[in-house]
Structure 1
Amino acid sequence: MARGGQGLARVAVVVRAGAAPLWWLGVVAAGIGLLIPGLTGRRIGVLAGAALFLVAAACVGGVRRKRYAALARGAVRAGRNDVLQDRRVTARNWRRGHRWWLVGGFAAAVASAFAVPAAGGMLLAGCGAGLWLKALWLGRRERREADLLWVRVDWLTERTGRPAGRRVKAYRATGLAAGDAAPGGARRR
């Protein structure tokens, strides 16, 4: 980094990075689970999966919001020498650091289909939907405050990648035009 600058990653992009893989792995696992009759039968499996989907989406979408809000309130302006990480690089780093968790979650969801068909896959998809809802919440907050939230890359370890974890002390803020991601972490149009 040049002259004391820090590498910064978008908070909403880090949150949103896990949404798509969890969603799609969950949908595929639920589809595979529907092919297996299981111990409880397909109807009970789908009903249980729907309940798990809603609970997981609500829990994942709502967890640690107070911590995110507190860090956002204390955000300081990013410095001139800070380096803003691309959206693709941030998402790739998160997915690379969590690939074994994603594979393990997918395998567990498919294996659970022998007991309760489709429920494990729908739970996995619910976790992805919850991350997407949290990224949308962050995007609304960023638009309202007219600030994009950034976290130092060195505080995001490859294995955890949590933008509101214990290692994160504060966020940095920039204007809405900074970076290559829109508020909420989506691609700019």
Structure 2
Amino acid sequence: MGRGAYAVARVAVIVRAPARRLWALGVLGAGVGALVPGLTGRRIGLMAGAVLFAGAAAAAFLARRGRYAELAGGASRAGRSVFLQDRAVTVRNWSRARRWWLAAGFLAAVGSSFAVPAAAGLALAGAGTGLWAKALWLGGLERRADALLWVRTDWVRGGPAGKGVPGYLTTGIGAGDALPGGARRRGRAAPGGAAVSAAR
């Protein structure tokens, strides 16, 4: 898995990071779009949006699940030179790297409402819902294995299950500042880059 000190980020946090933003932007885009009659009319737009919501949610949830399970099954224990990236840092890095894509998606969702009102916005919201569900699924894997899944931060440009990721690392279930599934761990301060050797 490599030598020397390096940072790792929680797999579930990376998956979960876009969920709330896509949901919020999608709902906002759908709400704005619903104010526009559009070419098809609001009723047809909302019906189409409901179908797209379900399809996008299913696609986001099911995409590459086999790859995630394969990497999780072959994960190795993290060494003492590894540093845990805080949940907030992981989310912030994801948002900064993709802020223009999020803005473009929102504008496209609003613009498309002049043709099919609210449909594209609901598709965005569905994608966010599917990613949130996938993070919960990863949390189930972590609980059953009694270990949290991490990935090197320099490997995730193509996503936490991309071709550039040769494997995951694991720590104890109490390591870091995020629960299984990527939710924020309450009642405990973020470790600020605590070494894995100090994790429970």
TM-score by length of structure 2 reads 0.90
Paired residue for 1:181? 178
List alignment gaps of at least 5 residues for structure 1. Answer: none
TM-score by length of 1: 0.96
Provide the residue aligned with 1:103 in structure 2: 103
Separation in 2 of the partners of 1:166 and 1:94? 18
1:48-103 per-residue CA deviation (whole Å, 9 max, x = no partner) reads 00010001000110110000000001100001110000000000001111111101
Identity of aligned residues (%): 64
Secondary structure of the equivalent of 1:188? coil
SS at match of 2:34: helix
Q: How does 1:1-189 map to 2 (within 5 A)?
A: 4-157=4-157, 160=158, 162-189=159-186
Q: Which amino acid aligns with 1:46?
A: L
Flag structure 2 segments of 5+ consecutive residues without an equivalent. Answer: 187-200
Work out the CA distance in 1 between the residues paired with 2:96 and 2:156: 13
Give me the whole-angstrom Cα distance separating, in 2, the residues matched to 1:93 and 1:154: 12
Q: Distance in 1 between matches of 2:39 and 2:146?
A: 52
Please tell me the residue identity of whatever aligns with 1:139.
G
Q: Distance in 2 between matches of 1:17 and 1:98?
A: 11
Checking the alignment, whether the CA contact within 8 Å between 1:6 and 1:81 is kept in structure 2 is: yes
Question: SS where residue 18 of structure 1 aligns?
Answer: helix
- In 1, the alpha carbon distance for the partners of 2:41 and 2:143 equals 46
CA RMSD of aligned residues (A): 0.9
Please tell me whether the aligned partners of residues 19 and 131 of structure 1 are also in contact (alpha carbons under 8 angstroms): yes
Q: Which whole-Å CA distance do the structure 2 matches of 1:5 and 1:184 have between them?
A: 25
